Structure 1
């Protein structure tokens, strides 16, 4: 099974939509692209294998390859480097809504595939950076 994350970059954060086939599962929020914030940035584009992880301290999370996570974060907490945070919807002012619900729905969707021994992957693609900031002129494929 392969999920597709289509995203766009802004100076304050990276916004995306997560799809399974042609069906949108949820929205995703991430830290900004590294050229906007070198200390806190989003994952690089590519393909990542997903693996569920549970700990007593943090509960359920989904590991993305070697360096990222899909996890639930409260609307008032900003995503850190390599964190993808599911969101059900946004208010008009941009505040994320139902972040925990979005994560649980995603986990339910993927649980059947993992239970059947299927490999679940995430492909991350994005629109090019529309800004003229020199450090952002890194090739980006749509």
Structure 2
């Protein structure tokens, strides 16, 4: 199964829409593209495995696997990419600017409600990231 992240790039951050079976789950925030440099850049476009992950800091969230030259790329809550992300992706319900948004915890819960049941059945879930068509 595949979730699709459609990105719109800006100098202040990357905004996106996360789709599953053509239905929007939430919006997303990422750092601007800076040649995939760890900690300061969004990850490259492409297809990656997505899995459930738990950590004491972020509790239940998602991890994106197989990113070239990177590890621990997560989907976790955050409303400001520059202040709260180090290369990860934050779900939000609404964009308020480049790399900024609102209600990230609610958006992450929507993601978990929609995607955890798929993963819990042992079904492989792929995240495909590409640029949004204007």
Per the shorter chain, which TM-score range?
A: 0.7 to 0.9
Query: Whose RCO is larger (CA < 8 A, sep 6+)?
Result: 2
2:117 — aligned with what? 112
Match of 2:86? Answer: 80
2:38, 2:62 → 1: CA distance?
24
Provide structure 2 residue ranges, at least 5 long, that are not aligned to the other structure. Answer: none
1:89 and 1:113 mapped to 2: Cα distance? 25
| CA apart distance, 1:27 | 0.5
Secondary structure of the structure 2 residue equivalent to 1:106: helix
Contact 1:75 1:99 in 2 (8 A): no
Q: Shift of residue 56 of structure 1? A: 2.6
Residues paired across the two proteins, number: 127
What is the rounded CA distance, in whole Å, between the counterparts of 1:92 and 1:49 in structure 2? 28
Write the distance in 1 (CA, Å) between the matches of 2:39 and 2:63.
21
Give the corresponding residue for 2:129: 124
CA drift at 1:25: 0.7
TM-score by length of 1: 0.78
1:71 paired residue number: 76
Q: Do 2:78 and 2:90's aligned partners in 1 also have CA atoms closer than 8 Å?
A: yes
- Structure 1: give runs of 5+ residues left out of the alignment: 129-141
Question: Shift of the alpha carbon at 1:73?
Answer: 1.5
Moved beyond 4 Å, runs of 4+: 91-95
Larger-gyration structure (1/2): 1
1:40 aligned residue: 40
